[in-house]
Amino acid sequence: MILKEILDKSNFDTSKIENFYYFKSNRWDIKTKKGLIIRLPSEININLLNKATQIIEDENFKNLKTLDFRQTDQLIIYE
């Protein structure tokens, strides 16, 4: 499934996306209009994007700079 299809099926608000970055390792980064970078693994799924949406909308995480989902079963957060 391609990134666009997964985004369309997820809860992720695509109007908040400023840019996409593709890497030769077959993975993507998403940059939001607020400057947040979401680093996605090569295997993307709807649940992962829904989790990113929950974190972005949570007031406790309003100062995030990067959400890094590249490591299996881990989320790395940079503020």
Q: Domains of the chain: which residue ranges? A: 3-78
Q: What's the pTM value of the predicted model, to 2 decimals?
A: 0.90
pLDDT at 2 over 90: no
Question: For 26-76, how does the pLDDT look when each residue is reduced to its tens digit (9 = 90+)?
Answer: 999 999 999 999 999 999 999 999 999 999 999 888 889 999 999 988 899
DSSP state of 59: G
The residue with tokens 């992962």 is 48
pLDDT at 6 over 60: yes
Q: What is the 3-state secondary structure (H, E, C) of 17-42?
A: EEEEEEECCCEEEEEECCCCEEECCC
| pLDDT the model gives residue 65 | 95
Contact 44, 6 (CB under 8 A): yes
Cα-based distances in Å from 72 to 31, 40, 76:
21, 11, 11
